[in-house]
C-alpha cells in the first residue's frame, strides 16, 4: 500500500512539474464537492476562457427568478491553458448553444454556481470531459 | 494527520529554524549578520535554475486548496479567526478579487514551478539581485542584494512585497516588507498588510530547503514558522505566463453587496472537524494548537467552549497594531507617484501635487502646522506658482494650509474673466476648487465654525463633476454624496491615473464618517465603489491606477476593495442588529468590528472604534437624506 501511495505521489509531482494546476480559491471551500452533482439544461449565454478559471453562463430552461426571468448559472471551468490542453478553446461552444451541464453545487445557493463536472451539447454530441479529463 | 504527528512536525520545524537562525546574529528582525568569527561576508550561493516544490504536508495548498475552517496549527488570534469565519468564498467572484495574486509568504508554498536567476552588474559582476519567479499569478520577487534600504512606510504595498537579502552561513536570508493583505491559507484565513517575512533558503545540491517566519501583528499571536522543499528541474518546465483577466462571474449582484456570514452563522463551520473526526476547538486554530499541552485540552474541551470562539470575546476592544505611516518628524516627505504627480506626507492628511508646464495643481493642503515646509517642497518640484488648490472635503486636516498656499500662488487663467469680476483679488492668488458644501461648512453657513475667508474655495460645483485640463492632464473632481461628509470630492488625474480619495479612504483607521456634517455609512460604501468604478489594475489585481488615501500609504484598487468589503460587512452586521431591535449600546457591546480592530481600531484619540460604530448605527437609523 505504501508503495502504491509513493508511486501515486511521484506521479502527481511529475504532473505538477509539467502541467501546472491553478487554484485561485479553495475548491472544497467554494463548492459542496461531496454533494450529489446537479444537472441543468439551458442556453449558453457566454463562454469566457480566462485565468485563473474560465466561466460558462447558462440560462436555465425551466428555473425562473422572482421577476420571471430565466435563472443564470455561473459554471466554473479550468484555466485557459488547462482547457487548451484538453482540446477546449473559445470556439468549442458558442452563444445560443443548448447544453446540459452537470456540476458540484456552490456553497452559496444564491449564486447559482456550479463547478463543471460535465457538459454536453446534444445537437452534435460534443462533450467534455473526454476520458478522465478534469481541472483544478 | 494524527495530532501527535502534527505536534512533532512543528517542534522539529521550530528546532530547524532555531538552528538556522543561530548561524547569524540579529534574531528574526530586519538586518542579518555575518558568520561568527569569520572575516568578510559569507560566499554567495547560486540558486539559479528551475525548481519545483515537493508535495508534502502542504499538499492542500499546492492542490485544490484547504477545507473551510481548517485552521489548526496556525497561531492565529481572535481577529483572524473571526475574519475567516465571516468569509464567504463567493466573495472571490467579485471583479475586484478574481485576479488577486498570492502574497509572497503564500506564493512560495503554493502551486506551480519557480525559476531563479541572478542579476549582476555587467561591468563589476557584483550581485545586484536574485529574481525568484513563480508561475502562480506570474509572481516575480526580487531579492535586492546590493544593500539598498527598504522603502518608507508610506510607499505602496505589493503582493510580492519588497525584499532584501544577505548570505548568512550556508543560507540566503531574505527580509520582506510592504506586503499586501492576502492569505495565510486560502480558506479565508487572512494575512495582513502589516506582515513581515523572514526566509532562509539553503541549497543542498539539487534541493533547496526553505524556511519562512511570518510575523503578522494584526492576525497572528506569534510568528508562524513553515518549511518546504524544492527540487531542481533539469529542463525548462515552460508555461511561465499566467495572464489574468477579470470577467462577469456571478451576475446580478448589487455593487455594495459583499458575501459574508454574520458572526456565529457560518453554515459550514463544523464540517471539516466532523468529516475528519477532529475536535472543533483544534480546527479553530490558535497558537495553543501548536504545543503539546493542547493534547490534554483536546480530550476535555466541550463543543460549547469551541463555539464560544466563533463569537467576539467579551472585554475591551483591541486596537490597531499597524505601523503609523506618518513619520512625525516635523518634516515633509515627498513620494513620486507618476507622471508629475507627487504625494506629500507629514502635515496631517496627505497632500498631492501635480506639476508641469503650468503652475502646480495641489489637492488638499494638510493640517497647516508645516505649511512653510509644504510650500518649500512644492517649490522644489516646480518653480512655477501654485495655480489651483482642490479640497476633497472641509475637515481642518485637509484645509489647514489653504490660506498660506493660496497666497503663495497665482492663477493667470482667471484674470479678466467673470471670476475676477465677482471675486476681488482672484487671479492674484491660487484658485481654490471644491464642492459647494465645502464652502458652506467653512464659511459657517451650514452650522460649522467659520474659518478665515481667505481659506474658502472660490470655484465650486454642486453635483456630478468639475473638470480642468491642466499640465497636460485631464483633472476631474467627482462628487460622492454623504460619504465622510456632504461635500466630498474624488480628484482624478486621468493621464497619470491617480485618484485622490480624501477622507473617503485611508489605510490607518476606520473611515471618519462625520454624521453631523452629512456623512453616512452607505454613502461611504458608494464612494469607495465610485473609486473602484474608475480603477484598472496593471497585473494580477495590483498596480495600475494609484489611490492616494487621506492618510496612510499610497495604494491601488486592492486596498480600496478590502476597505470597501470591510465597510459593507460592518454595515450588514449593524443592519441585522437594528432589524432585530438592538439599541446602540447593544451594538457596541456586541463588538461587531472585532475582526478589524487589530488593524483599524482605536480606544483613544479623535476617532475611536466606539465613535465609528456609533456613526454607522446612527446613519443607518437615520439616513443622511432625511437630515437635510
pLDDT tens by residue, B434-475: 999 999 999 999 999 999 999 999 999 999 999 999 999 999
Q: Cis peptide before B280, with omega less than 30 degrees from 0? A: no
Chain A hits for B68, CB-CB cut-off 8 Å, are: 26, 28-29, 107
Question: Looking at the predicted structure, is the pLDDT value of residue B527 above 70?
Answer: yes
The answer, for B67 touching chain A at a CB cutoff of 8 Å, is yes
Question: Looking at the predicted structure, is the pLDDT value of residue B34 above 90?
Answer: no
Please report which helix (H) or strand (E) contains residue B288, including its range.
none
Helix and strand numbers (H, E) in chain B are: 18, 23
- Report the sign of the C-alpha dihedral through residues B51, B57, B59, B60, in that order: negative
Tell me which of B30-39, B208-217, B397-406, B465-474 is least confident. Answer: B30-39
pLDDT at res. B14: 44
Tell me which of B127-136, B175-184, B297-306 is least confident. Answer: B297-306
Q: Is B518 left (phi over 0), alpha (psi -120 to 50) or beta?
A: left
CA distance linking residue B489 with residue B465, whole number of Å: 9
Question: Following DSSP, what letter does each residue of B303-359 receive, concatenated?
Answer: HHHHHHTTSPPSSSPP---SPP-S--SS--EEEEEETTEEEEESSSS-EEEE-SSS-
Question: Looking at the predicted structure, is the pLDDT value of residue B135 above 90?
Answer: no
Q: Cis peptide before B438, with omega less than 30 degrees from 0? A: no
Closest CA to B209 of B61, B51, B60: B51
Contact A107 B268 (CB under 8 A): yes
Instruction: Give B482's DSSP letter.
Output: T
Give the number of other Cβ atoms within 10 Å of residue B36's Cβ: 10
Contact B63 A111 (CB under 8 A): no
Strand A126-128 with A113-121, pairing: antiparallel
In this prediction the pTM is: 0.91
Question: In chain B, which residue's Cα lies nearest the Cα of A56?
Answer: B249
Q: pLDDT tens digit string along B247-300?
A: 888 888 999 999 999 999 999 999 999 999 999 999 999 999 999 999 998 888
Query: B291 vs chain A: nearest CA distance in angstroms?
Result: 27
- Which one is predicted more confidently, B32 or A85? A85
Chain A hits for B62, CB-CB cut-off 8 Å, are: 16
User: A98 to each of A56, A69, B197, B228, how far by Cα in Å?
Assistant: 12, 17, 51, 47
Contact B187 A26 (CB under 8 A): yes
Chain B hits for A134, CB-CB cut-off 8 Å, are: none
| Residue B55 pLDDT level (bands cut at 50, 70, 90) | confident
Q: What are phi and psi of A21, to 5 degrees?
A: -105, 145
- Which one is predicted more confidently, B12 or A106? A106
Q: Which residue has the cell 432585530?
A: B580
User: What mean pLDDT do residues B109-116 have?
Assistant: 88
Contact B187 A29 (CB under 8 A): yes
Is the Cβ–Cβ distance between B217 and B598 less than 8 Å? Answer: yes
- Which of B65, B93, B110 is the closest to A29 by Cβ? B65
Is the Cβ–Cβ distance between B453 and B443 less than 8 Å? Answer: yes
Strand A98-105 with A113-121, pairing: antiparallel
Contact B111 A57 (CB under 8 A): no
Mean pLDDT for chain B overall: 92
The answer, for B233 touching chain A at a CB cutoff of 8 Å, is yes
Query: A132 vs chain B: nearest CA distance in angstroms?
Result: 17
- Which of B62, B66, B250 is the closest to A113 by Cβ? B250
User: What mean pLDDT do residues B24-33 have?
Assistant: 37
* Three-state SS letters, B97-129: CCCCCCCHHHHCCCCCEEEEEEEECCCCCCEEE
Please report which helix (H) or strand (E) contains residue B90, including its range.
none
pLDDT at res. A23: 54
| Residue B5 pLDDT level (bands cut at 50, 70, 90) | very low
Query: A59 vs chain B: nearest CA distance in angstroms?
Result: 12
- Quote the strand ranges of B145-233, DSSP E: 162-168, 171-177, 182-185, 189-191, 196-204, 207-215, 224-233
Strand A98-105 with A38-48, pairing: antiparallel
| Residue B38 pLDDT level (bands cut at 50, 70, 90) | low
| Residue A11 pLDDT level (bands cut at 50, 70, 90) | very low
Chain A hits for B235, CB-CB cut-off 8 Å, are: none
Closest CA to B162 of B171, B172, B170, B152: B152
Question: Following DSSP, what letter does each residue of B122-166 receive, concatenated?
Answer: TTT--EEEEEEEETGGGEEEEEE-S-PPPPPTTSPPBSS-EEEEE
Burial of B509 (0-12, 13-18, 19+ CB in 10 A): buried
CA distance linking residue B21 with residue B170, whole number of Å: 11
Q: Which residue has the cell 471675486?
A: B423
| Residue B61 pLDDT level (bands cut at 50, 70, 90) | confident
User: What mean pLDDT do residues B191-205 have?
Assistant: 97
Is the Cβ–Cβ distance between A40 and A58 less than 8 Å? Answer: yes
Closest CA to B511 of B470, B491, B538, B482: B482
Across B79-111, b (16+ Cβ under 10 Å) vs e yields bbbbbbbbbbbbbbbbebbbbbbbbbbbbbbbb
Question: Looking at the predicted structure, is the pLDDT value of residue B304 above 60?
Answer: yes
Question: Looking at the predicted structure, is the pLDDT value of residue B310 above 80?
Answer: yes
| Residue B573 pLDDT level (bands cut at 50, 70, 90) | very high
Tell me which of A58-72, B241-255, B321-335, B395-409 is least confident. Answer: B241-255
pLDDT at res. B570: 98
Q: pLDDT tens digit string along B494-526?
A: 999 999 999 999 999 999 999 999 999 999 999
Is the Cβ–Cβ distance between B107 and B164 less than 8 Å? Answer: no
Contact A108 B112 (CB under 8 A): no
Q: What are phi and psi of B172, to 5 degrees?
A: -95, 125
The answer, for B234 touching chain A at a CB cutoff of 8 Å, is no
Chain B hits for A76, CB-CB cut-off 8 Å, are: 249
C-alpha cell at B604: 483613544
Q: What are phi and psi of B511, to 5 degrees?
A: -60, 140
Question: Looking at the predicted structure, is the pLDDT value of residue B301 above 90?
Answer: no
Question: Looking at the predicted structure, is the pLDDT value of residue B11 above 70?
Answer: no
Q: Which residue has the cell 495530532?
A: B3
The answer, for A29 touching chain B at a CB cutoff of 8 Å, is yes
Chain B hits for A16, CB-CB cut-off 8 Å, are: 52, 55, 62, 111-113
CA distance linking residue B211 with residue A129, whole number of Å: 40
Neighbouring-strand partners of residue A120: A100, A127
Is the Cβ–Cβ distance between B91 and B565 less than 8 Å? Answer: yes
Question: C-alpha angle A99/A101/A103, rounded to 5°?
Answer: 170
Instruction: Give B179's DSSP letter.
Output: B
Is the Cβ–Cβ distance between B212 and B161 less than 8 Å? Answer: no
C-alpha cell at B510: 476606520
pLDDT at res. B628: 40
- Which of A9, A18, A107 is the closest to B55 by Cβ? A9
C-alpha cell at B474: 485631464
CA distance linking residue A92 with residue A47, whole number of Å: 9
The answer, for A107 touching chain B at a CB cutoff of 8 Å, is yes
pLDDT at res. B624: 63
Closest CA to B103 of B263, B224, B254: B224
List of residues 6+ apart from B473 with CB closer than 8 A: B339, B340, B354, B356, B493, B494, B495, B496
Q: pLDDT tens digit string along A26-75?
A: 888 999 998 999 999 999 999 999 888 899 999 999 999 989 999 999 99
Contact B111 A52 (CB under 8 A): no
Amino acid at each position: 500500500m505504501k508503495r502504491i501511495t509513493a508511486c501515486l505521489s511521484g506521479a502527481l509531482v511529475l504532473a505538477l512539474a509539467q502541467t501546472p494546476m491553478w487554484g485561485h480559491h479553495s475548491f472544497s471551500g467554494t463548492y459542496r464537492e461531496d454533494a450529489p452533482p446537479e444537472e441543468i439544461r439551458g442556453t449558453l449565454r457566454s463562454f469566457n476562457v480566462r485565468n485563473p478559471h474560465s466561466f460558462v453562463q447558462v440560462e436555465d430552461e425551466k428555473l425562473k427568478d422572482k421577476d420571471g426571468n430565466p435563472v443564470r448559472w455561473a459554471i466554473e471551468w479550468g484555466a485557459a491553458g488547462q482547457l487548451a490542453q484538453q482540446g477546449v478553446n473559445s470556439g468549442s461552444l458558442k452563444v445560443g448553444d443548448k447544453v446540459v451541464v452537470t456540476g458540484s453545487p456552490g456553497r452559496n445557493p444564491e449564486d447559482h454556481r456550479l463547478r463543471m463536472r460535465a457538459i454536453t451539447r446534444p445537437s452534435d454530441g460534443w462533450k467534455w470531459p473526454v476520458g478522465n479529463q478534469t481541472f483544478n | 494527520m494524527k495530532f501527535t504527528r502534527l505536534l512533532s512536525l512543528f517542534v522539529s520545524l521550530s528546532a530547524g529554524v532555531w538552528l538556522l537562525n543561530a548561524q547569524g546574529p540579529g534574531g528574526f528582525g530586519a538586518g542579518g549578520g555575518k558568520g561568527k568569527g569569520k572575516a568578510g561576508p559569507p560566499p554567495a550561493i547560486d540558486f539559479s535554475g528551475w525548481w519545483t516544490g515537493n508535495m508534502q504536508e502542504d499538499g492542500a495548498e499546492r492542490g485544490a486548496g484547504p477545507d473551510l475552517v481548517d485552521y489548526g496549527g496556525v497561531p492565529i488570534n481572535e481577529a483572524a479567526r473571526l475574519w475567516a469565519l465571516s468569509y464567504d468564498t463567493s466573495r472571490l467572484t467579485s471583479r475586484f478579487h478574481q485576479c488577486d495574486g498570492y502574497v509572497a509568504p503564500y506564493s512560495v508554498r503554493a502551486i506551480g514551478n519557480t525559476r531563479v536567476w541572478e542579476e549582476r552588474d555587467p561591468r563589476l559582476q557584483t550581485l545586484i539581485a536574485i529574481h525568484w519567479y513563480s508561475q502562480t499569478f506570474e509572481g516575480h520577487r526580487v531579492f535586492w542584494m546590493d544593500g539598498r534600504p527598504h522603502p518608507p512606510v508610506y510607499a505602496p504595498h505589493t503582493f510580492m512585497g519588497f525584499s532584501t537579502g544577505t548570505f548568512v552561513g550556508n543560507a540566503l536570508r531574505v527580509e520582506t516588507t510592504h506586503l499586501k493583505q492576502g492569505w495565510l491559507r486560502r480558506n479565508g484565513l487572512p494575512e495582513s498588510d502589516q506582515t513581515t517575512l523572514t526566509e532562509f533558503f539553503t541549497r543542498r545540491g539539487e534541493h533547496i530547503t526553505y524556511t519562512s517566519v511570518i510575523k503578522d501583528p494584526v492576525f497572528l499571536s506569534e510568528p508562524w514558522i513553515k518549511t518546504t522543499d524544492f527540487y531542481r528541474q533539469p529542463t525548462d518546465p515552460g508555461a511561465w505566463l499566467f495572464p489574468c483577466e477579470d470577467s462577469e462571474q456571478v451576475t446580478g449582484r448589487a455593487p455594495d453587496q459583499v458575501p459574508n456570514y454574520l458572526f456565529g452563522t457560518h453554515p459550514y463551520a463544523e464540517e471539516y472537524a466532523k468529516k475528519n473526526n477532529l475536535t472543533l476547538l483544534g480546527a479553530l486554530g490558535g497558537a495553543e494548537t501548536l504545543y503539546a499541552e493542547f493534547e490534554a485540552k483536546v480530550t476535555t474541551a466541550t463543543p460549547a467552549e469551541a463555539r464560544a470562539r466563533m463569537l467576539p470575546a467579551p472585554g475591551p476592544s483591541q486596537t490597531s497594531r499597524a505601523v503609523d505611516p506618518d513619520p512625525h518628524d516635523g518634516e515633509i516627505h515627498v513620494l513620486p507617484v507618476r507622471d508629475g504627480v507627487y504625494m506629500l506626507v507629514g502635515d496631517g492628511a496627505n497632500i498631492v501635487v501635480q506639476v508641469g508646464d503650468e503652475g502646480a495643481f495641489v489637492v488638499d493642503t494638510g493640517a497647516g502646522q508645516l505649511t512653510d515646509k509644504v510650500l518649500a517642497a512644492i517649490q522644489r518640484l516646480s518653480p512655477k506658482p501654485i495655480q489651483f488648490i482642490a479640497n476633497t472635503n472641509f475637515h481642518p486636516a485637509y484645509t489647514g494650509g489653504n490660506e498660506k498656499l493660496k497666497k503663495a500662488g497665482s492663477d493667470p487663467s482667471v484674470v479678466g474673466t467673470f471670476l475676477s469680476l465677482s471675486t476681488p483679488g482672484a487671479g492674484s492668488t491660487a484658485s481654490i476648487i471644491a464642492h459647494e458644501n465645502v464652502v458652506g461648512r467653512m464659511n459657517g453657513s451650514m452650522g460649522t465654525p467659520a474659518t478665515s475667508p481667505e481659506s474658502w474655495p472660490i470655484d465650486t460645483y454642486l453635483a456630478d463633476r468639475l473638470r480642468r485640463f491642466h499640465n497636460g492632464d485631464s483633472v476631474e473632481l467627482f462628487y460622492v454624496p454623504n460619504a465622510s461628509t456632504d461635500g466630498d470630492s474624488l480628484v482624478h488625474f486621468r493621464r497619470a491615473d491617480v485618484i485622490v480619495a480624501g477622507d473617503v479612504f485611508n489605510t490607518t483607521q476606520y473611515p471618519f464618517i462625520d454624521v453631523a456634517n452629512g456623512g453616512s455609512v452607505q454613502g461611504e460604501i458608494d464612494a469607495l465603489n465610485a473609486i473602484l468604478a474608475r480603477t484598472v489594475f496593471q497585473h494580477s489585481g495590483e498596480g495600475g491606477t494609484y489611490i492616494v488615501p487621506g492618510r496612510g500609504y499610497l495604494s491601488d484598487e486592492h486596498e480600496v476593495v478590502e476597505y470597501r468589503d470591510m465597510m459593507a460587512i460592518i454595515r450588514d452586521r449593524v443592519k441585522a442588529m437594528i432589524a432585530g431591535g438592538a439599541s446602540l449600546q447593544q451594538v457596541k457591546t456586541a463588538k461587531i468590528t472585532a475582526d478589524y480592530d487589530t488593524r483599524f481600531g482605536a480606544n483613544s484619540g479623535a476617532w475611536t472604534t466606539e465613535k465609528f460604530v456609533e456613526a454607522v448605527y446612527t446613519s443607518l437609523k437615520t439616513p443622511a437624506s432625511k437630515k437635510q
